[in-house]
Structure 1
Amino acid sequence: MSSIELDHVSKLYANGAYGVRDVDLTIAEGEFVIFLGPSGCGKSTTLRMIAGLEGITSGDLRIGGRSVTHVAPRDRNIAVVFQSYALYPHMSVRENMGFGLKMRGVARPVIEEKIKEAAGLLGLAPYLDRKPAALSGGQRQRVALGRAIVRDPVAFLLDEPLSNLDAQLRAEMRLELVKLHRRLGRTIVHVTHDQVEAMTMGDRICIMRDGRMIQVGKPLDVYADPVDTFVARFLATPPMNLLPARLEAQGDGLLVRGDGLSVEVPAMHRDAYAPATGREVIFGLRPEDIHEAPQPGFQRIDVTVVAMESLGVENILVGQIGQGNGAEGRPAEISARLSRHYTAAVGATVPLYVDARPMHLFDPETTRALPRPSLRVLGH
């Protein structure tokens, strides 16, 4: 059993500040879970508490059903892979991978067999006699993973292991980690601030802020139904567009009206949002739900182009809507993901078309999402 249970776990420092506050989470055996959040949110501290490298102020931590809150790190059978690799520069790859087992008094033939198996999994067999200085960043990270694998732990804890790699290597290692998880079938907890890693690797995402877990769920569920504006903006790049508005009645329907904004609420959401009629709201819509061409059901908005970002596979339009009548006195900015063939001159006012079905409304005071049926449940 390698389930990990955090039962209302907190970390309180001597200065009275909480590093982690009341985290209540169960990680199933064999699950790949991502801790995602900005710097200082408590994700690495939570990981270190699971490893035993940080003490727990309150709550209980169980691994495989056994309380390990006061158990030494070496007795938890957990392997940690750090951002810095932490390889011994004077040792070969083989020696680095086997060092921990050697210190535990494991017989040399057993060590060699485990090294051979791990090197095969990670493609390190040709490099076993090299020193870390002769390896690329991606190869060093594989060595750090190999050193963890040979220990045969019940779970792997990965603390931003890809952040030192360039973009191409990060993409390659993301895929390698997913493959490795499938082969080993072990529990993995992976800490990152990278939204792409979170969306593509994990079975579940745990989004943290100020030491608390804000939302936990499958990546696409969290993406489709963020619980508040923080999650809505943090989980994707470009982030969700969030615009101040007011929800008004219009005949039998509802209208979201703001500066330069007038969007009819789709019928599927009317009953859910009707209680907020007449209230100030925050209108949320992701950039990919704003289109360059009209289609049935799409609603037009006029946007003044501020910038065009060409990414090859797509163009990101950044534009302004309205006249700037809000509290800040300037037009609100929105982003739209458009086709790679779309062009528009900076300063031009262009029509774009909103698919309002994935829209969200948030409470301006609490920043929490107003409840509505999930499109994932509705099949959209």
Structure 2
Amino acid sequence: MASIELDKVSKVYANGAYAVREIDLTIEDGEFMIFLGPSGCGKSTTLRMIAGLESISAGDLRIGGRSVTNVAPRDRNIAVVFQSYALYPHMSVRQNMAFGLKMRGVSSSVIEGKITEAAALLGLSSYLDRKPAALSGGQRQRVALGRAIVREPEAFLLDEPLSNLDAQLRAEMRLELVKLHRRLGRTIIHVTHDQVEAMTMGDRIVIMRDGRVMQVGKPLEVYANPADTFVARFLATPPMNLVPARLEGAADGALSVARDGLALAVPDRHRAPYAGAAGKPVIFGLRPEDIHDTQHNPAWQPIELTVVAVEALGVENILIGQLGTSQPIEIAARLSRHFTAPVGSRVTLYVDALPMHLFDPETTKALPRPPLLAAA
């Protein structure tokens, strides 16, 4: 049993600065949890407190229901895999994987059996006698994972383990880690600043900012229903378009989002929850993929933009367009790979307003509306 519970856990430095502030979080046994956030948000510090490598200033940490707040790292039965791999360069792969077990006095026969099993699992069987310098970055990362696996810990803590890899290796290792989790069935906490890793790997994600937890949930649920503008913009590339506007109301109850260059009717589904904000300033949020170059649905509403740039990515084109003239603002649209338009030209695109969001300009919090992706 390796559920991990953080009960108002904080980390305060000697100068009074908070690295982590009152985190309440439960990670279920066998769950793959992603800690996501920008540099300095406290995600690695939180991981290190769980590992026992950082002291906890306040609150309680429980692993498997047992308080380990003041328990030494070696007695927590968890394994940490670092960004730097932390392999011994003078030792072979076999020796690196065996080192921790030898220090615990495990017999040679048991160690060899564990190494053989882990190496087969990770595709390292033919590399056991090589030194780390003779391995690729992805192979070194597998060795670091293998060294953790042979210990048979209750949980794995991964601190940005893929950030040193090139794009292709990173994509391959993402898939390998997901497969590994399914085979082992152990609790994994994976720290990253990469949104793709968060969306594709985790059962749930924890989005952090300035030492606080901003939102917790399944990746697609958080993506579809961000709690505030920070989450809305952080969880995608290109990020959600956030446009300062005003919510206008009509006598018949209809609502529209209006500003220079923008006049969009609010879908009927959102009228009731948004009615209280009528006549007030709002921040209008719309994902780039909800703007289209062809009106496939008659409910999609036209919008005119001045082309600033078109980024051709092969599978799609990203349009950066200027909305309005007196108060221009740039927005992004994910369009088909066949879309082309010269810089400076005016184009008409079509907005699917159903996935729209409205945020309070003062608090930056999302105004409540029915979620588009129901919780499972």
Common fold by TM > 0.5: yes
Cross-structure match for 2:2: 2
Tell me which residue corresponds to 2:337. Answer: 340
In the TM superposition, residue 324 of structure 1 has moved relative to its aligned partner by 3.5
CA distance in 2, matches of 1:243, 1:170: 34
- Alignment-derived partner of residue 369 in structure 1: 366
Give the Cα–Cα distance (whole angstroms) in 2 for the partners of residues 11 and 302 of structure 1.
49
Distance 1:378 1:278 in 2: 32
The aligned counterpart of 2:322 is: 320
Encode CA deviations 1:219-250: one digit per residue, 9 max, x unaligned. Answer: 00000000000000000000000001000013
Displacement of 1:251 in angstroms is 4.2
Q: Does 1:267 align with 2:268?
A: yes
Superposition deviation, residue 259 in structure 1: 1.5
**Counterpart of 2:272 in structure 1: which amino acid?**
D
**TM-score, length-normalised on structure 2?**
0.99
Shift of 1:74: 0.2
Q: Does structure 1 conserve the Cα–Cα contact (< 8 Å) formed by 2:221 and 2:374?
A: no
- 8 Å Cα contact 1:324-1:332 kept in structure 2: no
Question: What is the identity, as a one-letter code, of the residue corresponding to 2:231?
Answer: V
CA distance in 2, matches of 1:141, 1:378: 35
The one-letter code matched in structure 2 to 1:257 is A
1:369 counterpart letter in structure 2:
A
Aligned to 2:106: 106
In 2, distance between residues paired with 1:324 and 1:204? 42
Partner of 1:78: 78
Which ranges of 4 or more aligned residues in structure 1 deviate by more than 2 Å? none
CA distance in 2, matches of 1:340, 1:365: 38
Q: Does 1:292 align with 2:293?
A: yes
1:328 aligned residue: none
For residues 141-167 of structure 1, give each alpha carbon's deviation from its aligned partner in whole angstroms, at most 9, with x where no partner exists. Answer: 000000000000000000000000000
1:184 aligns with 2:181: no
Inter-CA distance 42–375: structure 2 relative to 1 (3 Å threshold): same
Query: 1:132-211, aligned counterparts within 5 Å?
Result: 132-211=132-211
Q: Which amino acid aligns with 1:284?
A: G
Query: 2 CA distance for matches of 1:378 and 1:369?
Result: 18
Shift of 1:378: 10
Q: Structure 2: how far apart are the matches of 1:318 and 1:76?
A: 50
Q: Aligned letter for 1:171?
A: A
1:340 alignment partner, SS class: coil
Deviation at 1:318, TM superposition (A): 0.4
- What letter matches 1:311 in structure 2? L
Query: Could you report, residue by residue, the CA deviation over 1:277-296 in whole angstroms, capped at 9, with x for unpaired residues?
Result: 00000000000000001121
- Structure 2 letter corresponding to 1:281: V
Partners of 2:224 and 2:16 lie apart in 1 by 36
Mean CA deviation greater in 249-258 or 181-190:
249-258
Matches within 5 A, 1:240-259: 240-252=240-252, 253-259=254-260
Could you say what secondary structure the match of 1:121 adopts? Answer: helix
Alignment match, 2:307:
305
Deviations 1:75-134 (A, max 9, x none): 000100000000000000000001000011000000000000000000000100000000
Q: Which residue identity does 2:106 align to in structure 1?
A: V
Query: Which residue number corresponds to residue 32 of structure 1?
Result: 32
Structure 2: runs of 5+ lacking an equivalent: none
Identity %: 78
Bigger shift: residues 184-193 or 289-298: 289-298
Match for residue 283 of structure 1? 284
Distance 2:250 2:173 in 1: 52
- Looking at structure 1, the residues matched to 326 and 116 of structure 2 have their Cα atoms a distance apart, in angstroms, of 65
Give the distance between the partners of 2:323 and 2:2, measured in 1 at CA: 52
Q: Give yes or no for contact 1:321–1:333 (8 Å, CA) kept in 2.
A: yes
State the 1:323 CA deviation: 1.0
Q: Normalization by structure 1: what TM-score?
A: 0.98
Question: Aligned partners of 1:324 and 1:62: how far apart in 2?
Answer: 56
Amino acid of the residue matched to residue 321 of structure 2?
A: G
**Residue by residue, what CA displacement relative to the aligned partner does 1:60-80 show, whole Å, maximum 9, x if unpaired?**
000000000000000000100
Change (3 A) 1:373 1:227: same
Structure 2 SS opposite 1:282? strand
Shift of 1:313: 0.3
Q: Secondary structure at the match of 1:376?
A: coil
Q: What do you get for the CA RMSD once the two structures are aligned?
A: 1.0
Distance of 1:285 and 1:368 partners within structure 2: 15
Question: Which digits, 9 at most, give the CA deviation of each residue in 1:267-318, with x for residues without a partner?
Answer: 0000000000000000000000000011210000000000100110000000
2:352 to 348, 351, 355: 355
Structure 2 counterpart SS, 1:169 = helix
CA distance in 2, matches of 1:38, 1:378: 26
Structure 1 CA distance, aligned partners of 2:194 and 2:374? 27
Corresponding residue number in structure 2 for 1:93: 93
- 8 Å Cα contact 2:221/2:375 also seen in 1: no
CA distance, structure 2, for counterparts of residue 103 and residue 324 of structure 1: 70
Amino acid aligned to 1:357: L
Number of equivalences:
374
